[in-house]
Amino acid sequence: MSVFASAAQRIEAELQPDPDWWRGAVIYQIYPRSFQDSNGDGIGDLAGIRQRLPYIANLGADAIWISPFFTSPMKDFGYDVSDYKGVDPMFGSLEDFRVLVDDAHHHGLKVMIDLVISHTSDQHPWFAESRSNRENHKADWYVWADPKPDGSPPNNWLSIFGGSAWEWDTNRRQYYMHNFLTSQPDLNFHNPEVQDALLNVVRFWLELGVDGFRLDTINFYFHSQTLKDNPPLPPEVRNASIAPEVNPYNYQDHLYDKSQPENIEFLKRFRAVLDEFPATAAVGEVGDAQRGLEILAQYTAGNDRIHMCYSFDFLAPDPITADKVRTVIEEFEREAPDGWSCWAFSNHDVVRHATRWGAYERDPERYLKVVAALLFTMRGSVCIYQGEELGLPEADIGYEDLQDPYGIRFWPKFKGRDGARTPMVWASNLLNGGFSTGKPWLPVPDIHRAMAVDTQIGREGSIYEFYRDFLEFRHEYQVLSKGGIRFVDAPEDVVAFLREDGDVTLLCAFNLGHGEVEFSPGMKVARLENVPLDGEVDGGKIKLKALGGFIGRVKSH
């Protein structure tokens, strides 16, 4: 009887979802407008995503993150939601989404969706009621404030998209706050009813089977009710990681319009809802140029807040360096010893790192491979942005083709985000790279078509095959997903660290420079043969070619 009981327990354990799946997961970000169009209207959709799930599974990702597909007027392409429980018809239907989730699970992929709850569209019914007068039930659901005696905005807060963060409303004769477009009013999280309504949205999608969320602008939820002016930021410490240099948003120290302490309690409420559903998780986007890692640490501390967050440290314009990698990760480990980060080098909001870091100036394929290997071995989870695995550079979009209001506002010094949002390229010999049979919403550059999926799958040495091989290698070694990290002193251009888990310790070393390097790590190391890197160990020294890497197992004796 005990034999049968233990067998039943083993089967039950195998069928139980892993509540820790997110820790070290590789998450593939899909920008739905640009991934795959199934009906020829030039815009990607949920059915198109379903069509490409085998590709993502074959690459070796653990989960997909789908950028917003909710009902929206699309002023900010889905990041302005008018119905949190609806699918915009351009993407399909709620039933299409249900089938997509089932298919993803069949392919072994978790499904995370982009939840945009710091603000809504001005066409959301909540806002329509809130702005109607000052006495309605939802009058306090958004951030409203009286003007100064001279009629000017309540304070000096600025919008990321340019200009004041305040817009005048003639019905209420008050200003409402918007951190982004004027058509994206900010919700008032100080109102418990707002929190309840948003947590109801969270539960709705969890009940539909999603495995988690990416939380847009997670530190923007609360504002200071004092409405104090933000102080100026000295020019020497201005940071363009959140907004381009031409944007005066960088001129302020954003002490009062975001990143407020009240957010911690809301995140605990949010986590409590997720904990009602086994094996769900969330990753938050922390947008703060001055205190990003500190906030990330606060939000991921313990087991009752957010599971993981990412900041903009590796999404900033300045190139990645060995010193920066060590500084950022060691600071995070120091600030949040029990926290968890999710690292990314590219996403839909920033210039693709192939261009941003100047990879195409010298040996682009080798450069992109070594930084990918670095990304896949750092402690934390990982986000890959669609097309990154092909080495796609930023597309050069002419003003006449621009769609992004951000780029239109700051053209030509800042061209916006369209260059990172062009359609995915599947086939080099098909119209629009196989994305659509109709005219795409953004043009497909010829340089991208030449790098399409069909030119790289099965081709030895391609960037795609490197990603696939490395993710297969990563899955073989749990230490790379869940182990600790400890840095090793190395030459200037070399990032070197140990990944440790139980009795397994791996030494990872990456040369981000353009000259050969050798160094002694001070320990005995045996090179792993199944890793797609060309570094060697000889006489106790690690030898790295230019833009090369090495991973070896540390010997205990």
Q: Which long-range contacts (CB under 8 A, 24 or more apart) does 241-246 make?
A: 241/289, 241/292, 241/312, 241/313, 241/315, 241/316, 241/317, 242/160, 242/287, 242/288, 242/289, 242/312, 243/160, 243/289, 244/410, 244/413, 244/414, 245/413, 246/410, 246/413, 246/414
Q: Is 14 a catalytic residue?
A: no
Q: Is 276 a catalytic residue?
A: yes
Tokens for 161, please give them: 């998209």
How far from each other are the two terminal CA atoms of the chain, in whole angstroms?
45
C-alpha 149/C-alpha 34 separation (Å) is 47
| Element containing residue 14 per DSSP (H, E) | helix 2-15
Q: DSSP string covering 71-117, please?
A: E---TTTTSS-SEEEEE-TTT--HHHHHHHHHHHHHTT-EEEEEE--
Q: Where are the alpha helices (DSSP H) in 230-321?
A: 263-274, 292-300
Written as one letter, the residue type at 452 is A
Asked whether the beta carbons of 148 and 154 are under 8 A apart, the reply is: yes
- From 300, 376, 302, select the one nearest 340 (Cα to Cα): 300
Catalytic residue among 80, 122, 216, 313: 216
C-alpha 265/C-alpha 268 separation (Å) is 5
C-alpha 275/C-alpha 302 separation (Å) is 14
| Element containing residue 289 per DSSP (H, E) | none
Instruction: Give the other-Cβ count within 10 Å of 443's Cβ.
Output: 17
Catalytic residue among 276, 304, 492, 516: 276
Instruction: Give the contacts of 396 (CB within 8 A, at least 6 positions apart).
Output: 419, 445
523 dihedral zone (left: phi>0; alpha: psi -120 to 50; beta) = beta
Q: What are phi and psi of 27, to 5 degrees?
A: -110, 125
C-alpha 301/C-alpha 295 separation (Å) is 10
Q: Name the β-bridge partners of 494.
A: 511
Tokens for 5, please give them: 């009981």
Tokens for 433, please give them: 């790279």
**Preceding omega of 231 cis (within 30 degrees of 0):** no
Q: Where are the alpha helices (DSSP H) in 336-462?
A: 353-356, 364-377, 405-410, 446-449, 453-456
Q: Which long-range contacts (CB under 8 A, 24 or more apart) does 453-458 make?
A: 453/55, 453/390, 453/425, 453/426, 453/427, 454/426, 454/427, 454/428, 454/429, 455/428, 456/390
C-alpha 509/C-alpha 547 separation (Å) is 11
Alpha-carbon 466 to chain mean position: 22
Catalytic annotation, residues: 216, 276
